[in-house]
């Protein structure tokens, strides 16, 4: 009898699980090294049974999901045919049989980092003024005259936009040399991306505009898998003849391969943007290429003081400034332009803010995991590009 009791105690000890609050967990460098090594393993393409197993785990919202120790073999007997009738429930407690997903939920992601990731604020409009604006009264007169001078051209180009013309916020820099204006009106922003829409002088003040170099994501398209032998300038010249509103044509650096790459194009007219997107294809040198909507990736909030992701300099608790190159203290006046590059997160040969850093990669995965599991944080009108390293962890949004 005593022997039986001891066996039961050992069995209960081995199967007992300890509940852990993921918000209180920290990730050390060993975990990241292990995580990085797992990514380098060769894996075969998933079978149909693998897909069904994952689907069954994700659909079970009432029970705690369990990680499978062995790969499921192909057998119709092992597949539960009733899983399709179970509703899909998003839950932060779901555990995937992927090793990376088992580690998710362990880093603290602040609401500030989430807001920064999904916000789509447009860049400030910057105008250099010569002579400088004297004070706010002078600047107020300047901006009112500026809006009057551009009003007719703007209204004729955007006839359907009846919004009052103005900035949502404006200010002048130190000394009055630079004027800054912020607008949430995408049409006005696109209009002011063109240097020719600025007056050269307002009263005695000469204007030197520094317009934004990027249009909003909603005016951007991606041409997929263009061969490298086709030069970017050739593409730009051909598309400019076909579409009058071409603003930018450039390579997407993160997509460069040995034989092809993706091309990013921006158009300042919504009509041509919609036309190209609806066609689904675009012709370049007599060859058709697939075209897709551009989705901006989630932005990562990184402190400029300690170089750690997740907060801003204003709330940073670090008492000194840390160099993102070498990880040492930045002394006043020391620019650290030639210091040894060594990431103070992982010790790698890159800057602390580089997206190659395993800490930054992990933070981005955690950020997307939080957006996926906490649906109230993601507005319904927001669409984000999911980076490849996060797709491997089944972090689709």
The CATH number of the domain holding residue 280 is 3.30.70.330
Q: What is the pLDDT of residue 333?
A: 57
Name the phi and psi angles at 13, rounded to 5.
-70, -40
Domain contains 135: yes
Residue 389's nearest CA partner among 356, 351, 341 is 356
Domain contains 301: yes
333 shares its domain with 370: yes
Domain contains 306: yes
Among 37-46, 174-183, 271-280, 365-374, name the one with the lowest average pLDDT.
Answer: 37-46
Question: Is the Cα dihedral 328, 353, 33, 110 positive or negative?
Answer: positive
The answer to whether residues 300 and 364 touch, using CB atoms and an 8 Å cutoff, is yes
Distance (Å, rounded) from C-alpha 131 to C-alpha 119? 35
Q: What is the DSSP string of 68-88?
A: -SSPPPS-GGGS-TTGGGSPP
pLDDT category, 107, cuts 50, 70, 90?
confident
Based on the structure, what is the number of domains in the chain? Answer: 3
Q: What is the pLDDT of residue 114?
A: 84
Domain contains 83: no
Which residues have a Cβ under 8 Å from the Cβ of 208 and sit 6 or more positions away? 127, 128, 129, 130
CA distances from 104 to 21, 28, 357, 390 (A): 12, 14, 17, 11
Average pLDDT, integer, range 276-300:
92
Tokens describing residue 339? 């210091």
The answer to whether residues 256 and 346 touch, using CB atoms and an 8 Å cutoff, is no
287 shares its domain with 347: no
289 shares its domain with 223: yes
Q: Is the pLDDT of residue 143 over 80?
A: yes
Residue 55: which H helix or E strand, with range?
helix 48-59
Q: What is the pLDDT of residue 382?
A: 56
Asked if the peptide bond before residue 138 counts as cis, ω within 30 degrees of 0, the response is no
Share above pLDDT 90 across residues of the chain, in percent, rounded to a whole number = 51
Name the phi and psi angles at 246, rounded to 5.
-60, 125
Q: What is the pLDDT of residue 95?
A: 33
Q: What is the pLDDT of residue 116?
A: 83
pLDDT tens string 301-312 = 999 999 999 999
> What value does the mean pLDDT of the chain take?
75
303 shares its domain with 266: no
Residue 288: which H helix or E strand, with range?
strand 287-293
Distance (Å, rounded) from C-alpha 114 to C-alpha 119? 9
140 shares its domain with 167: yes
Q: What is the DSSP letter of 302?
A: B
Residue at a domain's end among 271, 293, 315: 293
322 shares its domain with 302: yes
**Better pLDDT: 2 or 193:** 193
Range(s) of the domain holding residue 326: 297-381
Which residues have a Cβ under 8 Å from the Cβ of 337 and sit 6 or more positions away? none
Q: What is the pLDDT of residue 296?
A: 78
pLDDT tens string 330-354 = 876 567 778 889 999 999 999 999 9
Q: What is the DSSP letter of 309?
A: B
Neighbours of 343 (CB within 10 A): 23
Domain contains 25: no
Average pLDDT, integer, range 352-359:
91
Residue at a domain's end among 182, 210, 238: 210
169 shares its domain with 231: no
191 shares its domain with 204: yes
H helices present in 88-225, as ranges: 99-103, 111-118, 136-157, 186-191
Distance (Å, rounded) from C-alpha 367 to C-alpha 377? 11
Length of the chain counted residue by residue: 397
Q: What is the DSSP letter of 362?
A: H
Residue at a domain's end among 268, 293, 318: 293
279 shares its domain with 313: no
Distance (Å, rounded) from C-alpha 374 to C-alpha 395? 13
Q: What is the pLDDT of residue 299?
A: 85
Distance (Å, rounded) from C-alpha 315 to C-alpha 320? 13
Tokens describing residue 322? 């840390």
Q: What is the pLDDT of residue 66?
A: 32
Residue 260's nearest CA partner among 239, 287, 279 is 287
Among 16-25, 115-124, 190-199, 360-369, name the one with the lowest average pLDDT.
Answer: 16-25
CA distances from 374 to 126, 294, 366, 386, 397 (A): 37, 24, 12, 16, 11
141 shares its domain with 196: yes
Domain contains 68: no
Domain contains 73: no
Most confident range, picked from 59-73, 78-92, 252-266: 252-266
165 shares its domain with 225: no
Domain contains 206: yes
377 shares its domain with 320: yes
């Amino acid at each position: 009898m005593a022997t039986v009791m001891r066996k039961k105690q050992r069995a209960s000890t081995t199967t007992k699980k300890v509940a852990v609050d993921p918000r209180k967990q920290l990730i050390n460098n060993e975990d990241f090294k292990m995580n990085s090594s797992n990514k380098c393993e060769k894996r075969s393409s998933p079978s149909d049974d693998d897909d069904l197993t994952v689907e069954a785990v994700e659909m079970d919202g009432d029970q705690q999901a369990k990680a499978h120790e062995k790969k499921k073999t192909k057998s119709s007997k092992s597949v539960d045919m009733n899983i399709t009738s179970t509703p899909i429930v998003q839950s932060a407690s779901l555990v995937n049989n992927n090793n990376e997903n088992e580690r998710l939920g362990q880093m603290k992601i602040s609401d500030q980092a989430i807001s920064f990731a999904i916000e789509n604020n447009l860049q400030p409009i910057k105008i250099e003024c010569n002579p400088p604006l004297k004070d706010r009264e002078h600047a107020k007169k300047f901006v009112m005259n500026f809006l009057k001078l551009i009003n007719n051209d703007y209204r004729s180009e955007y006839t359907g936009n009846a919004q009052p013309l103005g900035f949502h916020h404006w200010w002048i820099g130190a000394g009055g040399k630079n004027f800054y204006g912020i607008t949430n009106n995408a049409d006005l922003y696109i209009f002011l991306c063109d240097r020719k829409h600025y007056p050269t002088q307002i009263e005695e003040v000469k204007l030197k505009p520094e317009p934004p170099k990027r249009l909003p994501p909603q005016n951007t398209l991606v041409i997929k898998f263009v061969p490298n032998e086709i030069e970017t300038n050739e593409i730009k010249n051909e598309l400019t003849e076909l579409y009058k509103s071409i603003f930018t044509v450039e390579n997407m650096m993160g997509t460069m391969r040995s034989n092809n790459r993706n091309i990013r194009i921006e158009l300042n007219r919504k009509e041509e943007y919609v036309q190209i997107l609806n066609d689904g294809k675009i012709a370049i040198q007599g060859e058709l290429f697939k075209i897709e909507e551009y989705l901006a990736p989630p932005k990562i909030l990184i402190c400029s003081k300690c170089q750690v992701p997740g907060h801003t300099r204003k709330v940073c608790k670090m008492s000194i400034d840390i160099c993102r190159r070498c990880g040492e203290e930045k002394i006043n006046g020391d620019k650290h332009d030639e210091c040894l590059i060594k990431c103070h997160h992982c010790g790698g040969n890159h800057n602390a803010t580089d997206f190659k850093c395993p800490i930054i990669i992990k933070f981005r995965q955690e950020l997307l995991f939080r957006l996926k599991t906490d649906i109230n944080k993601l507005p319904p009108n927001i669409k984000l590009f999911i980076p490849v390293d996060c797709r491997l962890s089944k972090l689709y949004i």
